[in-house]
Amino acid sequence: MDDPATWKDLIPVISVMTALVAVIVSPLVSWMIARRQLDIVKHQISSSNVSSKRQVWIDELRQDIAEALALMSRIEELKRPSPNLNENEHLEVFDRRMEAELRATELLMRIRLRLNPNEQVHNDLVSAFQEVALAAPDPKPGETEEDRHRLQAGFKSARDKALGITQTILKNEWNRVRRGE
pLDDT digits (tens, 9 = 90+) for 19-59: 777 777 777 777 777 788 776 666 665 556 777 888 888 99
Q: Which domain holds residue 144?
A: 50-179
pLDDT digits (tens, 9 = 90+) for 89-100: 999 999 999 999
pTM over 0.75: no
Crossing angle (nearest 10°) for helices 4-78 and 87-114:
160
- Is the pLDDT at 5 greater than 70? The verdict is no
pLDDT digits (tens, 9 = 90+) for 149-167: 999 999 999 999 999 999 9
* Residue 2 covered by a domain: no
DSSP 82: -
How much is the pLDDT for 47? 57
- Is the pLDDT at 1 greater than 60? The verdict is no
Cβ neighbours for 121, distance < 8 A, ≥ 6 positions apart:
165, 168, 169, 172
How much is the pLDDT for 96? 95
* Residue 26 covered by a domain: no
* Residue 39 covered by a domain: no
Number of domains in the chain: 1
* Residue 101 covered by a domain: yes
* Residue 165 covered by a domain: yes
How much is the pLDDT for 44? 62
Crossing angle (nearest 10°) for helices 145-179 and 4-78:
170
* Residue 167 covered by a domain: yes
Give the CA radius of gyration of the chain. Answer: 34
